[in-house]
Amino acid sequence: MRVEEISVFRGERLVLDGVSLAMEAGGALLLTGPNGAGKSTLLRVLAGLRKPDSGQILWHGTDAFEDRSMHARHIAYLGHQEALKPGLTLTENLALFARGRPLIPALEAFDLLELRELPVRLLSAGQKRRAALARVVLADAALWLLDEPSLGLDARAVERLGDALETHRRAGGMVIATTHVPLPLPDADVLALPGAPLEAATGDAWGAGGWA
Amino acid sequence: MIATFRAIVARDLRLALRHGADTLGAVLFFILAGALFPLALGPSPELLRRMAPGVIWVCALLAALLPLDRLFGAELEDGSLDQLLLLGLPPSLVALAKMTAHWLTTGLPLLIAAMPLAVMLGLPFATLPVLLAGLLPGTLILSLLGGMAAAIVLGARRGGVLLPLLVLPLATPGLIFGAAAIDAARTGLPFAPDLELLLAFFAGALPLAPLAAGAGLRAAAE
């Protein structure tokens, strides 16, 4: 996958300015940068959820935005939110995303087997995060896009995440993750997003009479 | 692709069962609103019989609006919308699956509840088949138009207020032909043309509404 010169505006503000990157099979990339630097936005663009204002994403040489539903099949995305329905059990929540693949190994990968018949509203924040990670494993996709995957995880779960990431990469999968804390991703490339210059973030709002 | 479509519908049905109170709410509103008319207009059987088609259709229209706000709103709030869009299904099919679930959980119960309401308002038994024949495409149209509007206003600040303003004018042709068909059947006139126009309206909405809704979902996710 190659990403060429992606730029994204949010409102009047330039969040991503000409970001380029390339990924090989088995590769991993960590996105770092201060809050508001556009890490999550970049992940959403890569997932095809948001169109970049300029630049393109090439998947095996073809533009990913030509057929976004096709591109989506290569993607497993973990956002800030867990996207679980509190009224349904873990199994029922994940069934939609299994599409015929076995559910048990994905649950096992994050120690969720005993919890699988519980309604999600009874789970803790860390357990929900693990369930969302199980969905990523379940998607069986080439590229994992993880937005702060270790948020709320205990030491053992982080270890499990490391195992899952390694299995995925050894099978030729790719990982792009944003993080503020160290992740169990050995020899990953790092792309530091600089963040918006200070005057762009505050200057306009003041200048344009932001209080009114 | 069909399996994924069915899985989305199945998930929504299961959710509707778990939150039974929300699901029943629309039907109870329908019956209650219909029952208010005899109280307000007085118990004259002739008057009620004449007003019954309009009352049933207007109440069904309003009742179908109730769950629309949450149809996509809940998905957007908890991040499920992103995951639904990444299933590899075109967004219009995701929208159509949600609309199907809306019809199964709201339209179909309304269809069944319309029968006791019609009897209560004194509609002759002979007109009941025409009532159902009209309400069947009618409720389908409401699910399609309502789902479309819900997807379009998704993410807007006052979406809940905009929603009826968008759906009600669009649904008026259905209201006119649906009520007219029952009226025609009651007075012994041919009712087939009205039902055919209703079906034509449904045939137009079936491809167009999911397309517009899909675009709305994409825009909301951005």
Q: Model confidence over A71-109: pLDDT tens digits?
A: 998 999 999 999 999 999 999 999 988 877 888 888 988
Interface of B with A in 57-86 (CB under 8 A): 78-80, 82-83, 85-86
pLDDT of residue A195: 67
* Residue among B84, B74, B78, B138 nearest B106 (CA): B138
Kindly state the helix (H) or strand (E) to which residue A125 belongs, with its residue range.
Answer: helix A125-139
Bridge partner residues of A175 (DSSP)? A28, A144
The mean pLDDT value for B32-42 works out to: 91
Question: What residues of chain B lie within 8 A of the CB of A85, using their CB?
Answer: 11, 15, 78, 80
pLDDT at position A120 is 93
CA distance B3 to A61: 30
Q: Please, what sign has the CA dihedral across residues B137, B143, B146, B149? A: negative
CB contact under 8 A, B89 and A79: no
Q: Under DSSP, is residue A188 helix (H, G, I), strand (E, B) or coil?
A: coil
Cβ within 8 Å, pair B79-A81: yes
Query: Residue range A122-127: average pLDDT?
Result: 93
Residue whose tokens read 């449904």: B202
DSSP A99-117: TTS-SHHHHHHTT-GGGTT
Asked if A97 and B87 come within 8 Å (Cβ–Cβ), the reply is: yes
Consecutive H or E run containing A136? helix A125-139
B91 CB neighbours in chain A (<8 A) are 69
**What is the distance between the alpha carbons of residues B61 and A211, in angstroms, rounded to a whole number?**
43
Q: Test B7 with A96 for CB contact under 8 angstroms.
A: yes
What value does the mean pLDDT take over residues A114-143?
A: 92
Of these ranges, A80-89, A200-209, B155-164, the one predicted with the greatest mean pLDDT is A80-89
* Contact check, Cβ <8 Å, B11/A81: no
Which ipTM did the prediction report? Answer: 0.86
For all residues of chain B together, what is the average pLDDT? 93
- Does A77 contact B at CB distance below 8 Å? yes
What per-residue confidence (pLDDT) applies to A98? 85
pLDDT in tens, B50-59: 999 999 999 9
Judged by DSSP in three states, B173 sits in: helix
Closest chain A residue by Cα to residue B217? A49
Of A72, A79, A97, which has the smallest distance from its Cβ to B79's Cβ?
Answer: A79
Quick check: B4 pLDDT over 70?
Answer: yes
Q: Smallest CA–CA separation between A156 and chain B, in Å?
A: 26
Across the interface, do B78 and A82 touch by the CB < 8 Å criterion? Answer: yes
**How is A53-102 classified by DSSP, letter by letter?**
SEEEEEETTEETTTSHHHHHTTEEEE-SS----TTSBHHHHHHHHHTTS-
User: In chain B, how many H helices and how many E strands?
Assistant: 10, 0
Average pLDDT, whole number, for chain A?
85
Cβ neighbourhood burial of A24 (10 Å; 0-12, 13-18, 19+) = exposed
Contacts of B15 (CB under 8 A, 6+ apart): A85, A87, A88
Residues 1-20 of B with CB under 8 A from A: 3-4, 7-8, 11, 14-15, 18-19
Integer CA distances (angstroms), B144 to A172, A185, B159, in order: 43, 46, 17
- Residue A206, SS3? helix
Q: In Å, how far are A41, A86, A190 from A23, measured between CA atoms?
A: 18, 36, 12
Contact (CB<8Å) A49/B88: no
Residue B137 has pLDDT above 90, yes or no: yes
Q: Is the pLDDT score of A206 beyond 60?
A: no
At B51 the three-state DSSP class reads: helix
Residue keyed to tokens 């053992």: A156
Best of A10, A16, A41, A49 to substitute, by most chain B Cβ atoms within 10 angstroms, is: A49
Hey, is the C-beta of A29 within 8 angstroms of any chain B C-beta?
A: no
Contact B79 A100 (CB under 8 A): no
Q: What is the mean pLDDT of residues B80-92?
A: 93
What is the pLDDT averaged over residues A56-82? 89
Of the candidates A100, A59, A63, which has an alpha carbon nearest to the alpha carbon of residue B1? Answer: A100
Confidence of residue A203 (pLDDT cuts 50, 70, 90): very low
Name residue, tokens 């330039």. Answer: A14
Band of residue A18 on the pLDDT scale cut at 50, 70, 90? confident
| pLDDT value, residue B155 | 82
Q: Look up the pTM and report it.
A: 0.90
Q: Chain B contact for A82, CB < 8 A?
A: yes
pLDDT at A9: 83
Q: What is the pLDDT of residue B196?
A: 95
Residue holding tokens 């663009």? A45
| pLDDT tops 80 at residue A199 | no
Question: What tokens appear for B131 in the block?
Answer: 């009532």
Rounded Cα–Cα distance for residues B178 and B185 (Å): 11
Q: Tell me the mean pLDDT in the region B17-43.
A: 90
Question: What is the predicted pLDDT for the residue at A202?
Answer: 44
Closest by CA to B111, choosing from B90, B126, B133, B93, is: B133
What is the predicted pLDDT for the residue at A196? 54
